[in-house]
Chains A and B, each alone.
Chain A
Amino acid sequence: GESVGLHLPTLSVQEGDNSIINCAYSNSASDYFIWYKQESGKGPQFIIDIRSNMDKRQGQRVTVLLNKTVKHLSLQIAATQPGDSAVYFCADLTSGTYKYIFGTGTRLKVLA
């Protein structure tokens, strides 16, 4: 059953519109960043990643933007579909260490 993200910020978008989900990180030594999608009752699923030597990386319908100056990461989903409804969260890592730091997540609701 649903036990994840009961009090998360929610982003509601119309089907077909673009979605932008934001994430702030605090560790200036972090040099690797990941976005995950988590559907109800499932484990987190990898979406896209980016290294700190890049500002932007594109995948299929998704783009990640990294602004190291303000320690900000965003995930853009183009032409949002009902299947995109889920909780999205970011994680950052300093290479050579073991510890990923996870954000709490944003719930994306796609309105038909």
Chain B
Amino acid sequence: NAGVTQTPKFRILKIGQSMTLQCAQDMNHNYMYWYRQDPGMGLKLIYYSVGAGITDKGEVPNGYNVSRSTTEDFPLRLELAAPSQTSVYFCASRQTGATNEKLFFGSGTQLSVL
């Protein structure tokens, strides 16, 4: 039961560097999400996807890009890292159905941009 798997767990970037945060789920969920979590704040939605080939912006998409070529994978790309992108990033997938709409979260990636 892997659930939602995120890599890496920690990363330090220099300003202007780029990187991809990986996310994979093995539950065959159509919906997937990327959130960032800053200290003392609620989760903020960066991007989401309702299925393979379909992505859309959330509340804070600037500086990020995503792709969804398969149901399983939903990578998040930072092209030109900035200190404001220092945060903890969570990927989630959503179970849908008549009785519940649970979000399952990965363990997170702690990113520091220096």
Q: Considering only CB atoms and an 8 Å cut-off, how many residues of chain A contact the other chain?
A: 29
Contact A46 B102 (CB under 8 A): yes
Known: A43-B90, A98-B50. A6 touches B102 (CB 8 A): no
Known: A49-B100, A93-B101. A99 touches B45 (CB 8 A): yes
A1 to B86, CA, bound (A): 14
Taking Cβ atoms with an 8 Å cutoff, the residues of B that contact A are: 4, 6, 31, 37, 39-43, 45, 48, 50, 56, 58, 88, 90, 99-108, 110
Name the residue of chain B whose CB is nearest to the CB of A105.
B42
A102 to B35, CA, bound (A): 11
Known: A4-B88, A49-B100, A98-B31. A42 touches B108 (CB 8 A): yes
State the 3 A-B residue pairs at the shortest beta-carbon distance, nearest first. Answer: A43-B105, A7-B40, A102-B42
Taking Cβ atoms with an 8 Å cutoff, the residues of A that contact B are: 1, 3-8, 32, 34, 36, 41-46, 49, 51, 89, 91, 93, 95, 98-100, 102-105
A-B contact pairs, 15 of them (CB 8 A): A3-B39, A3-B88, A6-B39, A36-B105, A42-B108, A45-B105, A49-B100, A49-B101, A49-B102, A91-B103, A98-B56, A99-B45, A102-B42, A102-B43, A104-B42
